[in-house]
Chains A and B, each alone.
Chain A
Amino acid sequence: MVAGSALQRTLQIARGNPSGSVGFLLVLVIVLPGLLAPVLPIADPNALNLAHRLQAPDREFLLGTDQAGRDLLSRILWGSRESITIAFGAVGFGCLVGVTLGLIAGYMHGTIVELLITRVFDILFSVPLLVLAIAVMGIVGSTKLEVWGFEISNAMKLIALIALSFAPALGRVAYASSLVEARSDYVRAKKAQGAGWLEIVFLDILPNAIPSVIVQATLFVGVAIIVEASLSFVGLGIAPPTASWGTMLADARTYIFSGEWWIAVFPGLAICITVVGFNLMGDALRDLLDPRGSSRSIFV
């Protein structure tokens, strides 16, 4: 009964937000096959097959093959795993850092802590983070990086750098809600009861900040996917031969003039579909969760 009503309610919400539902479906179309890629009956994404190189889309290779005869459909599906992992990792990490700092700054209104944290956000906003990310990846990218015995992979570096560029915006959203909540009666009552600041910030204020953070985070997933693809495209992201949408497009550059259009078109379409999906979802979530709109628009 409960499951039935939950389903009904979900359907009701979906009917009220047609474009959000379309977004959800678009994301599902890309993410689900990506998750299932290891068990789906598709070709090995890295299997070289020189007999079938640069094959146009046909029955055997639905989206064609690349210069090494690798199946593009398979590579796009495997590539979605890279994109989604990095995008979710970056947004998640950015939330962890930004939201924590933002909540604390709002709660400690009027103290040096607030001043310090908001100053750090201001400074991060004045940094061209895409340019910095490219410079940092370019300098440390090729060398093996080890921190305290852990080997840092390229994907982790990308996650950290993209997260750094999202943290201040996510932090400001959390800060705005925290400022309001910290002055509310229920928080004052909790304080009077002797609750510690950790408890108040994370158990009372955080739940109220979550809706606007979720909206912002969903919109950032799309941005993260584009940033990752751009970095991989210029050769400073995911390193070949691992399948990623950006590196596939980098390969495509060579074949644009000789007529092999499918190598350039399909990976980019995959990016577009996924990002449109996340943006439509973010828009719908904004109407649903954050109608007053304290979450900012999508900027990198």
Chain B
Amino acid sequence: MLGFLLSRLVSGLIAIVSVSALVFWLIRTVPTSPALLVLGADAGDTVVAAFEAKYGLDQPILQQYATWIWRALTRFDFGQSYISGRPITTEIALTLPVTLELIVVSMTLCLLISIPLGTLSAFRPGSILDHAARAIAVIGVSTPGFWLGLVLILILSVRLGWFPPGDLPPVSQGIAAHAHSIVLPAFCLAIYYTAIISRMTRSSILEVLNQDYVRTAVAMGLPKSRVRLIYVLRNAMIPIVSVVAMSCGYMFGWAIVVEQVFNIPGVCRALLAGIFSRDYNLVLAAVLVITVAFVLLNILADVLYRVLNPRLSW
């Protein structure tokens, strides 16, 4: 087990370093120096040189990267924003919890819909409900979340006025308004994985239903509900657990578009804002934070899969 964990950690660490190094290198090779972005295009050479010396931009790129990643990973120090002058760490601390909350709410919503849907269609294969569930799943994986967001805003917010069309007021302004605002974006982020997980639940249950131990339990005369809940559902959920962890990681990617549509002040929108305002320290920090979260969720998925499948070797 230790060897397995170690190998996954090494892969993850290589992924983190290569992603951040690639982004770092691209940023530093962009023709426009951050100095010119901040000081204006007509800044004199001496001013630019002073700026670059102050932020260490005159050092060799490898050294710059080493310093940056060391500070980032050991002290959570990502430098300061060239645009606002504030420490990037503050920016991340303000925005990351918002995205995490969005993903948690979204995954909860996803499970509340997909598990019952998948279970019901597995216990009644070929029924109208099963066909409907399949149709929902096909449409779910084929609908871009951001477009669903636009359409839902159009119908539920603009026409009917049931939900706010965007923004996420902080909890301090009232938990009801906060919860009300997060429903639509969470649903849009959830739809893709709702489709995937409901189908996986269905096929996983059908597989378990064919196992000998289920037949034995039924033959022994155990009540149907007990067999279904304890023998079937519990075992069928094993593959789902690790898919849930992995899907949470993938949600960071789709959250970029969803946060943009609903104007949600999360770390993914901060990444986009950083790209467009050329606040490259913010871009670096956001990419690093998201990559670390993604890697950790992936490792968690692998570990859970093996913990729940004792037959698999480590």
Contact = CB atoms under 8 A, between A and B. Distances in A.
Interface of A: 119, 122-132, 134-136, 138-140, 143, 222, 226, 229-230, 233-236, 249, 252-253, 256-257, 259, 261, 264-265, 267-268, 271-272, 275-276, 279-280, 283, 297-300
Given A249-B150, A257-B158, A272-B143, A127 B294 contact: yes
Contact of B291 (A128, A259, A279): A128
Given A230-B144, A234-B256, A234-B260, A135 B150 contact: no
A131 B291 contact: yes
B164 interface: no
B138 A280 contact: yes
Given A280-B138, A298-B141, A128 B290 contact: yes
Given A297-B200, A299-B250, A126 B11 contact: yes
Given A256-B150, A272-B143, A139 B26 contact: yes
Given A230-B256, A257-B158, A297-B200, 12 more contacts: A126-B12, A126-B15, A128-B19, A128-B253, A130-B253, A131-B252, A134-B253, A139-B275, A140-B30, A230-B144, A253-B261, A283-B138
A275 B158 contact: no
A298 B138 CA distance: 11
A95 B141 CA distance: 22
B43 interface: no
A131 B287 contact: yes
Contacts of B15: 123-124, 126-127
Contacts of A261: 154
A134 B23 contact: no
Contact of A264 (B22, B26, B154): B154
Interface in B249-280: 249-250, 252-254, 256-257, 260-261, 268, 271-272, 275-276, 280
A267 B139 CA distance: 16
Nearest to B147: A268
Contacts of B268: 131
A299 B23 contact: no
Contact of B142 (A134, A272, A297): A272
A257 B275 contact: no
B144 A268 contact: yes
B219 to A, nearest CB: 29
Contacts of A271: 143-144, 147
A139 B12 CA distance: 24
B142 A276 contact: yes
B26 A136 contact: yes
Contact of B141 (A124, A128, A139, A279): A279
Nearest to A264: B150
Contact of B30 (A131, A132, A143): A143
B151 A268 contact: yes
B11 A119 contact: yes
A234 B158 CA distance: 22
Contacts of A126: 11-12, 15, 294-295, 298
A139 B30 contact: yes
A213 B141 CA distance: 20
B165 interface: yes
12 contacts: A124-B15, A125-B298, A128-B294, A131-B287, A132-B287, A138-B276, A249-B146, A256-B150, A268-B147, A268-B151, A275-B142, A283-B138
Given A126-B15, A222-B141, A252 B150 contact: yes
A252 B261 CA distance: 11
